[in-house]
C-alpha cells in the first residue's frame, strides 16, 4: 500500500511540475531549455566544440536580456559560466585568434563589459580591451569601413554591425572614448549609403568597396539580395547602439534617421497573410523562398524595443505583437511536459567568404533549416524579453 501511495505521489509531483512548467512564460521555458541543452555555458556547435564566436554570443545576448528583465541570478550565473570557460585569470581569451580579425569575435565583448560592471574583476576589463584593440587595427576599406575578416578583403556585411557596434558604443561610454562613436557611426553610414536599394529602401546583404569580388555588382559593389537575417542583425545593432548616444548628439540624430528609414522599408516588405517576412525580403513569390525564424524574431525585437524607447511610432508595437503571435504559432513546438523547441532557423550563411558563397537566390535558399539553432534561440530570447517579460523597472546595466 505504501509503495503504491509513494508511486502515486511521485506521479502527482511529476504532473504538477509539468503543469507548472506549461504555465511559465514561454521565454523562460526557452531560456531554461537552452541552459539544459548547453550546461555550464558550453554552447557547442554540431561537432561539440565550444569556441569563442558569434553563435554563443547571440545566445548570451538573449540570456542577458532575460536576466535584465527578470532579475533572476541564474541567468547571470550562466553568462558568467560561459564566459569563464574562455576568459582566463590573466584576461587572455581561449580559442580567440586576434590575427584573424574576425568581427564575429567581438559580440561576446558585451558580456565582458556586463561582467566587469557586475563583478569589477580585472580579467573581464583586460579581455574587453583585447577586443577593442582588434577594432583599432581592423583592416579597412579605402573609405574606412571595417572588413568582415582579414580573409575577406573589402567585404562589409550588415551582420557585422550587430557584432561590433553595441560593444563599441558601450566600451566608448564605459571608458570615455568619444572617437569610437565617430568610427562606429561611420560603419553604419557606409552601409546605409552603399547597400541601400533606392526603390525599396532595403539593404543588400554585403558590399565590396573595391568591386573586385566575383559576387559584387560591378557598378555598385553590392551583393545580389536583401536577406532577412542580415537586415535583422542590422536593425538590432541600431536599436542596441542608440541608447549609448546622448540625445543632443548630432550623431544620434543621424543614426535614428537610419533606424526609422530602414524599419519602414522592412515594414513595407511584410507578408500580410502571415504578419512575417520572407528570407529574400523583396521576392516573396520566388519558388523555395520561405519565412525563417531567427530573422523575424530579430525584426520583432528591434520593432518592439524601438517603440518602447520612443525611437519608432507605436504602430511598430502593434506590428511586433502580430509577429510575436504568428511566430509562436509557426515556430514554437512544445511537448507534453512543456519542453519547447524553436524550429525553422537557417544554419550557416557566410556570404562572400568563398566563391560559392555568392549571395545568389540559390545560395540562401539551399541553406539547411534546423531546430534549436543558437541563432534562433538567442533571437527568441531577445524578442521574448521585449514582448513577454519586459516591465518598467530600474535597469541593472545602464543603457542596454
Say yes or no to pLDDT of 400 above 80.
no
Say yes or no to pLDDT of 74 above 90.
yes
Q: What CA–CA distance (Å, rounded) separates 300 from 295? A: 9
Q: What is the mean pLDDT of the chain?
A: 93
User: Which segments of the chain does DSSP mark as H helices, in order?
Assistant: 2-23, 26-37, 54-70, 73-84, 109-119, 122-137, 159-174, 178-195, 228-241, 250-268, 293-308, 315-331, 361-365, 374-384
Query: Could you identify the residue written with the cell 556547435?
Result: 45
**Are 69 and 28 within 8 A, CB to CB?**
no
**Are 312 and 260 within 8 A, CB to CB?**
yes
How confident is the model at residue 49, as a pLDDT? 79
Domains of the chain: 27-389 (1.50.10.10)
Q: Summarize pLDDT for 168-197 with one digit per residue, the tens.
A: 999 999 999 999 999 999 999 999 999 999
Q: In Å, what is the CA distance from 282 to each residue of 151, 215, 228, 242, 289?
A: 30, 19, 9, 27, 10
List, in order, residues 6 or more apart from 301 with CB less than 8 Å away.
Answer: 236, 239, 379, 382, 383, 386
Q: What CA–CA distance (Å, rounded) separates 296 from 301? A: 9
Q: Summarize pLDDT for 241-271 with one digit per residue, the tens.
A: 999 999 999 999 999 999 999 999 999 999 9
DSSP 102-118: -GGGGTTHHHHHHHHHH
Say yes or no to pLDDT of 11 above 90.
no
Q: Is 272 exposed, middle or buried (0-12, 13-18, 19+ CB in 10 A)?
A: exposed
How remote is the C-alpha of 72 from its chain's centroid?
21
C-alpha dihedral (234, 129, 40, 43), degrees to nearest 10: 40
For the chain, give the number of residues.
400
Q: Summarize pLDDT for 33-47 with one digit per residue, the tens.
A: 999 999 999 998 666
Q: What CA–CA distance (Å, rounded) separates 86 from 106? A: 14
How remote is the C-alpha of 216 from its chain's centroid?
25
Q: Summarize pLDDT for 318-365 with one digit per residue, the tens.
A: 999 999 999 999 999 998 888 899 999 999 999 999 999 999 999 999
Q: Summarize pLDDT for 203-256 with one digit per residue, the tens.
A: 999 999 999 999 999 999 999 999 999 999 999 999 999 999 999 999 999 999
**Are 80 and 122 within 8 A, CB to CB?**
no
How remote is the C-alpha of 233 from its chain's centroid?
6
CA atoms within 13 A on the CB side of 358: 8
Q: What CA–CA distance (Å, rounded) separates 211 from 195? A: 13
Q: In Å, what is the CA distance from 335 to each residue of 21, 329, 338, 375?
A: 11, 14, 5, 22
How confident is the model at residue 397, as a pLDDT? 41
Q: Summarize pLDDT for 297-322 with one digit per residue, the tens.
A: 999 999 999 999 999 999 999 999 99
Query: Could you identify the residue written with the cell 524578442?
Result: 383
How confident is the model at residue 44, as a pLDDT? 82
C-alpha dihedral (387, 389, 395, 398), degrees to nearest 10: -50
Give the DSSP H or E segment for 288.
none
Amino acid at each position: 500500500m505504501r509503495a503504491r501511495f509513494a508511486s502515486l505521489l511521485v506521479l502527482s509531483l511529476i504532473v504538477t511540475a509539468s503543469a507548472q512548467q506549461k504555465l511559465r512564460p514561454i521565454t523562460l521555458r526557452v531560456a531554461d531549455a537552452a541552459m539544459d541543452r548547453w550546461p555550464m555555458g558550453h554552447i557547442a556547435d554540431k561537432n561539440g566544440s565550444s569556441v569563442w564566436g558569434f553563435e554563443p554570443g547571440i545566445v548570451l545576448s538573449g540570456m542577458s536580456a532575460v536576466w535584465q528583465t527578470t532579475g533572476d541570478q541564474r541567468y547571470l550565473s550562466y553568462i558568467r559560466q560561459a564566459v569563464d570557460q574562455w576568459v582566463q585569470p590573466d584576461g587572455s581569451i581561449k580559442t580567440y585568434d586576434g590575427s584573424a580579425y574576425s568581427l564575429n569575435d567581438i559580440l561576446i565583448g558585451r558580456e565582458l563589459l556586463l561582467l566587469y560592471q557586475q563583478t569589477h574583476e580585472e580579467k573581464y576589463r583586460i579581455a574587453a580591451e583585447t577586443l577593442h584593440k582588434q577594432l583599432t587595427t581592423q583592416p579597412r576599406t579605402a573609405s574606412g569601413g571595417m572588413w568582415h575578416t582579414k580573409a575577406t578583403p573589402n567585404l562589409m556585411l550588415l551582420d557585422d554591425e550587430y557584432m561590433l557596434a553595441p560593444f563599441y558604443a558601450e566600451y566608448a561610454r564605459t571608458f570615455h572614448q568619444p572617437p569610437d562613436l565617430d568610427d562606429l557611426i561611420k560603419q553604419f553610414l557606409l552601409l546605409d549609403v552603399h547597400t541601400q536599394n533606392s526603390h525599396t529602401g532595403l539593404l543588400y546583404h554585403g558590399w565590396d568597396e573595391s568591386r573586385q569580388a566575383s559576387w559584387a555588382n560591378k557598378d555598385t559593389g553590392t551583393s545580389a539580395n536583401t536577406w532577412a537575417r542580415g537586415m535583422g542583425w542590422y536593425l538590432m545593432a541600431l536599436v542596441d547602439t542608440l541608447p549609448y548616444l546622448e540625445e543632443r548628439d548630432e550623431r544620434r540624430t543621424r543614426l535614428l534617421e537610419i533606424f526609422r528609414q530602414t524599419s519602414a522599408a522592412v515594414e513595407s516588405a511584410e507578408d500580410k497573410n502571415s504578419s512575417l517576412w520572407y528570407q529574400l525580403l523583396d521576392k516573396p513569390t520566388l519558388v523555395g523562398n520561405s519565412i525563417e525564424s531567427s530573422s523575424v524574431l530579430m525584426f520583432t525585437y528591434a520593432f518592439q524595443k524601438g517603440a518602447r524607447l520612443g525611437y519608432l511610432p507605436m504602430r511598430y508595437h502593434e506590428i511586433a505583437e502580430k509577429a510575436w503571435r504568428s511566430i509562436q504559432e509557426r515556430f514554437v513546438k512544445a511537448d507534453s511536459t512543456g519542453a519547447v523547441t524553436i524550429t525553422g532557423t537557417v544554419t550557416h550563411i557566410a556570404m562572400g567568404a568563398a566563391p560559392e558563397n555568392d549571395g545568389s537566390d540559390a545560395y540562401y535558399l539551399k541553406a539547411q533549416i534546423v531546430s534549436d539553432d543558437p541563432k534562433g534561440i538567442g533571437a527568441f530570447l531577445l524578442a521574448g524579453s521585449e514582448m513577454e517579460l519586459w516591465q518598467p523597472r530600474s535597469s541593472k546595466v545602464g543603457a542596454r
